[in-house]
A and B are shown apart, each in its own frame.
Chain A
Amino acid sequence: MNFSMRRMNAIFQKDLKDLSKNMYVSTTLILPFILAIFYRKMDIISIETHFLIINLTFVAVTFFIQSAMIAEEKEKNTLRGLMLSPATLPEILGGKSLVSFLLTLVTLFLCVKILGYEPAQPTWIVLGMIISALFYLALGTLLGLLSRSVIEASVIMLPAMFIFGFGSFLELIIDKYPVLTFTTYLPNLQLIDLANKVESGAGIGSIWIHLAIIFAWFVVAAVITVIVFKKREMDD
């Protein structure tokens, strides 16, 4: 399959310009900053609190903006235009994911700075965040492809927003309800486990499993997304 950086960049540039004029998106971007500024005032900020903001950034910025962008392309019939152009699947999805990805990185960086979070081994945390961002991008794309409009995407994403955004609270109730133990495998909780182990000085031997689980989530989401995208190319 051909891959053209020029075509991917064209879609990226278009989205960047389009998003800069999109009030819906810019208001969503503020959310993690408000929370970060609010929690900054606390005397001691736990890992769970840091990752409440970080996971919320993934949900509000990466997941939501990506799904809204894709859903809007579907709603306005512009996605079909891209599909009928010479742009290939990696160029379209790559170009469309790049804006959300960059916005995520900038928001995460600024929120972490506001909170004053300084992980013991930043490399593993950054790697975990990048894999998480890829997962939320794939999930956002999938939701956008499955929705008929931005409004529909916004409604469908509410349960996901709760599960992934406020996952830190899930840990509090898992002890009471053992049936929820499976939720510890969610990527947001895996990221918190990873951060806790990093803080306790654990090495790659015990943290690789968390990176692998988050990566597995990304692979599954990406495969389903590609299948759905291929189906959406047709009107059958």
Chain B
Amino acid sequence: MENVIELKSLAKVFGNQTALEDVNFHVEKGETFGLLGPSGSGKTTTIKILTGQLTPTAGEAHVFNVPTSALNKGKYRKRFGVLTDNSGLYQRLSIHDNLKLYCKLYDLPLKRITEVLDMVNLANEGKKNVAKLSKGMIQRVILARAFLHEPELLFLDEPTSALDPTNAMHVYDGLRALKEKGTTIFLTTHNMSEAELLCDRVAFLHKGEIQLLDQPKTLRQQFSDASICLELKDGREIMLSGDATGAQKIYEYMAAGQVVSIHSNEPTLGDIFVKITGRELV
């Protein structure tokens, strides 16, 4: 499989502060990759390096098999879309006018505006002035702008941080649709359920270093203690081991008709993050 992103021993230092240290990973074509970590862990720095907005202090960063320093050429800029914390909109213009500018910059037909606004649940809001929009709506317009040219690679820095659950679901549907079309998505978030829902692989970034990298399912299995939780009719919740002894106990409770629910005790990605870093994902 072709790698769209490749980082080798990447480091970034600001003054005497190390933002990233020896970061290594790759992202395959068509993959949704999640970079997870708390605020200040280096997620935005990574995206800025990958989009050519920052120069690495050491190591290599390649996107589309070219160094990120070459991404300022128009032919590469057409191939990726980006949403970061420093994306802005023209306040005095309408949503439609903001997107119209980008349609023209990317040589796109204006009908794309309707399509992307539908993706972010703003189909009937195009005429609204940006200055009158809520934070969540602004976030969705910026997302729509990032989707506009159907890029091969999409960088999303905390894409749903300002959204309510309904609109976040709309965005997830849009991202899944893009993934089905073959778009590679590089996502940073500290929302673990979002990562579980969308990502093929996730990397945990803490203090500028990658702590873990794998598929969410594999990580959950790896950190699972294989215990099983039984909820009984008398209100008790009991934990059983996942071996033959546990199986015998489950059989006995089931035979006695006492079981209300039974589920495995896999950790969430958030639990795993806390376990390896000793801190919460906020």
Contact digits for B83-115, partner A, Cβ 8 Å, 1 yes 0 no: 000111111110001001110111100000000
Q: List residues 37-82 of chain B with CB under 8 A from any CB of chain A.
A: 48, 51-55, 72, 74-75, 77-78, 82
On chain A, the residues within 8 Å of B105 by CB distance are 7, 10-11, 82, 85-87
Known: A14-B101, A87-B105. A76 touches B55 (CB 8 A): no
- A181 in the interface (beta carbon within 8 A): no
In chain B, what residue has the closest Cβ to A84?
A: B82
- A17 in the interface (beta carbon within 8 A): yes
CA distance A11 to B77 in the complex (A): 17
CA distance A213 to B55 in the complex (A): 38
Q: How many A-B residue pairs have CB under 8 A?
A: 74
Q: List residues 95-111 of chain A with CB under 8 A from any CB of chain B.
A: none
Q: CB distance A80 to B92 under 8 Å? A: no
CA distance A236 to B105 in the complex (A): 26
User: How many residues of chain A have a CB within 8 Å of chain B?
Assistant: 27
Q: CB distance A6 to B104 under 8 Å? A: yes
Q: CB distance A235 to B53 under 8 Å? A: yes
- A44 in the interface (beta carbon within 8 A): no
In chain B, what residue has the closest Cβ to A78?
A: B88
Known: A17-B93, A86-B78. A234 touches B104 (CB 8 A): no
Contact digits for A1-22, partner B, Cβ 8 Å, 1 yes 0 no: 0100011011101100110011
- A203 in the interface (beta carbon within 8 A): no
CA distance A200 to B125 in the complex (A): 62
Q: CB distance B74 to A86 under 8 Å? A: yes
On chain B, the residues within 8 Å of A81 by CB distance are 87-88, 102, 145
Contact check: which of B51, B54, B87 meets A236 at CB < 8 Å? B54
Q: CB distance A18 to B92 under 8 Å? A: yes
A residues sitting closer than 8 Å to B (CB atoms) are 2, 6-7, 9-11, 13-14, 17-18, 21-22, 76-78, 80-82, 84-88, 233-236
B residues sitting closer than 8 Å to A (CB atoms) are 48, 51-55, 72, 74-75, 77-78, 82, 86-93, 97, 100-102, 104-107, 145
- What are the 7 tightest A-B residue pairs by CB atom distance, in nearest-first order? A77-B88, A10-B104, A86-B74, A78-B88, A21-B92, A76-B88, A85-B105
Since A14-B97, A85-B105 are in contact, a sample of 20 more A-B pairs with Cβ atoms closer than 8 Å, ordered by chain A residue number, is A9-B104, A10-B100, A10-B101, A10-B105, A11-B105, A17-B97, A18-B90, A21-B93, A22-B92, A76-B89, A76-B91, A78-B88, A78-B89, A81-B145, A84-B77, A84-B82, A86-B77, A234-B54, A235-B48, A236-B55
User: 5 pairs across A/B with beta carbons < 8 Å?
Assistant: A10-B104, A22-B92, A84-B51, A85-B105, A235-B53
